[in-house]
Amino acid sequence: MASERSYSPADRLLLQADAALRTLLPFTGQPFRPSPADGQPDAALADADARHIAGLMRINHTGEVCAQALYQGQALTAKLPEVREAMEHAAEEEIDHLAWCEQRIRELGSRPSVLNPIFYGLSFGVGAVAGLISDRVSLGFVAATEDQVCKHLDEHLEQLPAEDTKSRAILEQMRTDEEQHATSAIEAGGLRFPAPVKFGMTLLSKVMTKSTYRI
């Protein structure tokens, strides 16, 4: 990773624009790791099952869009160089999830949510504000967000048909990664958010999941 001194404010804005395009344009986010679905057998899915799985994967894809935006917003306003670099590194790992989900959605004959640009903008703003408040709040927001993502992944894993090993392999690896991100954020000094804040985040996440399942 390049050093902190390598980037001017204008450079960082251009990098943010590039990250947004790579997140939102189809097939532009190149994964660093191969998809866990590679090598898994193709299952003969009923049309209703395929549509439901595609909806679940669309939710997870939008969740990764939000994660990218959150991390990029936090990296832009983080005060400590090591926190900024940690956010940028986490964003790179989330690119894998983004690409894996998009590939699976296409395999199921569907497409990502058309609402992604809206959720990207909202999440970027939240991340930037959290970074402006303090690095501790920013890291705490990462941990709380990843906790929410893990809960969604657990719910989706329960709903997958047993024969869909491709989607299951993707979601299981995502859950492992997200849990590690949450743990790392707390260990780096992240604030543990109180229950009312987490409840509010849960309500907002339900808006995202309900809308992106079909749209």
pLDDT at residue number 185: 81
- 146 annotated as a binding-site residue: yes
Q: Which amino acid is at 16?
A: Q
Cα 96 to Cα 161: distance, rounded to the nearest angstrom:
23
Would you mind telling me the total number of residues written for the chain in this entry? 215
Q: Please count the other Cβ atoms lying within 10 Å of the Cβ belonging to residue 173.
A: 17
pLDDT at residue number 30: 73
CA distances from 168 to 40, 106, 132, 155 (A): 10, 16, 37, 12
- 181 annotated as a binding-site residue: yes
Q: What is the pLDDT along the chain (215 residues), one digit of tens a residue?
A: 444 446 666 666 666 666 666 666 666 567 778 999 998 988 888 999 999 999 999 999 998 888 888 877 877 776 667 666 766 666 677 788 889 999 999 999 999 998 888 888 888 888 888 778 887 887 888 888 888 888 889 999 999 998 999 999 999 999 998 888 888 888 877 778 777 767 677 777 778 888 888 88
- 89 annotated as a binding-site residue: no
- Report the SS3 class of residue 29: coil
- 178 annotated as a binding-site residue: yes
Q: Which amino acid is at 98?
A: L
Write the DSSP symbol of residue 188: T
> At the fourth CATH level, which superfamily is domain 46-212?
Ferritin, core subunit, four-helix bundle (1.20.1260.10)
Q: Is the pTM of this model over 0.95?
A: no
Domain boundaries, the chain: 46-212
- Report the SS3 class of residue 202: helix
- 94 annotated as a binding-site residue: yes
- 92 annotated as a binding-site residue: no
pLDDT at residue number 88: 66
Token pair of 125 as six digits: 């703003």
